Structure 1
Amino acid sequence: MNSTSTPGTVVRWDRSGNITKLKSPDDPYYTYAELRDVNDRGTAVGANGTGEDWVAALAPPGGTFAPLPGARHKSTVTDVNATDVALGGVNGAAVRWEGGEMVRLQPVTGTVDVQASALNDAGTVVGSSSVNAVTWDATGQPTKLSVPSDTRSARGLAINRSGQVLGYVDTWGRGRLPVVWR
């Protein structure tokens, strides 16, 4: 971007360094925009709106950078996979968007807090539900990951194509330990 760009301009750089402006909705409300992730197809995710009130947005290749279905005030989107499934949050709830639908990630029974960290190309999400490391399937249902008996808390941080989860466990006597769940 150069100094003549207008506030709220969102651009995509290609591998050769060429810049393409992403179209935003024709609305003077959209004065702020940021990108958080882009997949190999060129689908970009982020947020647009004003500096104080923004909504999660997605721009498919050649498309408009527009709000995701169900995205509201101060919603976020942080990740997009190869099939354009997006991951983020709305009103403090972790959600995934797929095929024009928003799915809330459910907490593990007996907990309320959900933190989503990443998703893979199969659409599996990893993160935590209160003190539990968790994966979520496409319907938003959680599965707790196994941890040692002296664990205080755990969290999944990343997931690869084969479903291996990278994360950590906080233990009572041994501190924070890295973990790969297979």
Structure 2
Amino acid sequence: MDGPYTRLTEADYDTKLREMGNYLWELEQELITTDARQDETTAGQVHQKISRLAAKADRFFGVPGKHRLLAAYVSGLGLRMIGQWADASDRFLNVLKLSPTNGEAWLELSWCLAETEHWEECEMAARRGTEFFPETGAVWGNLALALEKLGRAAEALTAVHTALRLDPQDTRSKELLARLEAGDTAPRAK
């Protein structure tokens, strides 16, 4: 295959993928804003831009080289941003195959697994994420949610307290804490 991307150097791939990743963060903020305004037309346009960037990163992943780790991560971010949780999980797993100590990928994977209700896998990914980011509330919140869904309320309570200590404004963790304190925990996932 001698397509347009095979003539790029590793430095070219790295630069382009970093630019794409930065643009994805901007697009995610735009998507959040348009969703809040209930502007479906603009949200659809932003969704398409994100989808195209994720697809381009996937094409970069298909070209051999060291850049594949970043390509998988950028693709996973884009897919996560547009709610394609299972596909995003696959991309973050690709990152982890190439770099098992990539804390960002463990954090993102735990989020995607929570969204797809794969609770045992979410717990494992979140625990790995806490090893790399012990001071990040989001990963502790993902762990707490997984533990709650697995019927382990006491452990979930400890994790959600950690999440809220680190990020006191996290609405999802606040709601989980209220459920746990009320004893209104989810049944064990099958």
Q: Same fold (TM over 0.5)?
A: no
More strand by percentage: 1
Q: TM-score, normalising length from structure 1?
A: 0.31
- Name the structure, 1 or 2, with higher relative contact order (CA <8 Å, separation 6+): 2
More helix by share: 2
